[in-house]
Amino acid sequence: MLRGMAAIREDPLAFLAAQWRTHGDVVQFPIPSPPTYLVSHPDDVRQVLVGRARDTGKDTLQYRALSRVTGLGLLTADGQRWREHRRIVQPAFHPSTLAGVAGHTADAGQRLVDGLLARPDGTVVDVDAGVMALALEVVGESLFGHALGPVADRLAEATLTALGEVVSVARMPLRAPRWVPTPGNRRMAHAMAELEAAVAAILAARAELGPRTPSDLVDLLLAGGLGPREVRDEIVTFLVAGHETVASALTWALVLLAAHPGIADRVAAEAADVLGPDPGTRPAADLGALAKLALARAVVDEAMRLHPPAWLITRRTAADLVLGGRPVPAGSLLILSPWIVHRHPAAWPDPERFDPDRFLDPATSPSVRAAFLPFGAGPRMCIGRDFAYAEAVLALAMVARAVRLAPSGPAPRALPLVTIRPDGPVLMRVTRR
């Protein structure tokens, strides 16, 4: 482990994948305490997240580091607090809300498309910046009833900065206290000030409306009997997790389509058939249309298989388990990586190949259900899964219908931060269809 520390800090994803390929589906790391295991077989991962979910928890370094940003929001809370907060916010993600999400996505997506169409053919743009702004707009309007447009760029930068510092803490937990003005602490303080300002603006805008029947996430939080800190934690959680993960998935989907123009043409044809042929016209974006965008959904799924936004899941065991035929004692740390599970040959033939059609083939559905974890699995599955699909599928279809994208320079490298992020701007050459 001492020899491996540099590799872990440099690229933890490559390190974990190398241990799996070298040692197999259950690897115990030589760490004195706690007993630490990398668990990679889809069956064992499902047992941890679904079958024995009650015997595992989130008291791990990963989630403690993330709580520096989100506090004890839904993403990091455990036990009774998590159950109470999940019950309070659940109505904001009821299937009946998806029409509103689709509508906001159509609005934001049309602004993105109009901006692309207004440029001369051959213009190079950073598509990651564009989809990040789109995702912030959709989450702001859908969950908070508050347009984040005027501060979207600063919020996006603050989110990435704060999450970058979370990764630094997780990889090197022995750090100076927060009050010491190190460069990292100064970056974190500035990013957190931006996030706190966004929360204050959202709550101030809601206070101006006065009492009303709860209609979105903020209403539910304010009516749910939570304290000011609890409300703040949930708003920051959904600000951060509600846009950065979807933006990452959409960016990688566009990267993959740019590298596979034949599939991009098929997505464009499907989108023109379902949404209408004119990319300059905002689509109606009803739920029936979303259900017909089967290939666009498959591309999003395949992009999340190859680049799962949440590439690392950790759990602490509260009871003895048996995984892969190996005894795992209570108090152990379990490391699960959807990046590895999504490439496991037990479930995925030719796993490194970009093949959205694998999600259209009913014969693959049992293995997909067992080994596809972009939103986790079990009771802690991401509450925003259907929200994310509605947004990502429609936005992808709208962009593909309007323009062809071609790489401008080397393909971005996948950086395993809190999510799988590209290693810099994602520059693409844009041509109207």
**Residue count (the chain):** 433
Architecture of the domain delimited by 5-432: Orthogonal Bundle (1.10)
H-type alpha helices, 211-328: 217-223, 228-259, 261-275, 287-292, 294-306
Please give the C-alpha separations between residue 323 and each of 55, 65, 329, 345, 359, in angstroms, as whole numbers: 13, 27, 10, 18, 28
pTM: 0.93
- Classify residue 146 by its DSSP letter: -
pLDDT attached to residue 171: 65
Separation of alpha carbons 236 and 116, rounded Å = 30
Contacts of 274 (CB under 8 A, 6+ apart): 289, 292, 293, 397
Separation of alpha carbons 355 and 363, rounded Å = 15
Structure tokens at 304: 């999340």
Instruction: Give the DSSP H/E element, type plus range, for residue 124.
Output: strand 123-126
Using the Cα atoms of residue 328, residue 330, residue 331 and residue 333 in order, give the sign of their dihedral.
Answer: positive
Tokens 């044809």 — which residue?
A: 269
- Mean pLDDT by runs of 10 across the 433 residues of the chain is 80 93 95 93 96 94 88 92 95 91 95 96 96 92 80 75 77 66 84 88 85 84 93 90 90 98 98 96 89 96 95 96 96 96 94 95 76 94 94 97 95 89 94 96
Structure tokens at 33: 């305490």
Contacts of 43 (CB under 8 A, 6+ apart): 346, 370
**63-85 burial code (b ≥16 CB/10 A, e <16):** bebbbbbbbbbbbbbeeeebeeb
The angle subtended at Cα 126 by Cα 389 and Cα 190, nearest 5°, is 85
User: Contact, 155 vs 194, CB < 8 A?
Assistant: yes
H-type alpha helices, 176-216: 183-209
Parallel, antiparallel or unpaired: strands 326-328 and 321-323:
antiparallel
Parallel, antiparallel or unpaired: strands 403-407 and 56-57:
unpaired
Structure tokens at 9: 């800090």
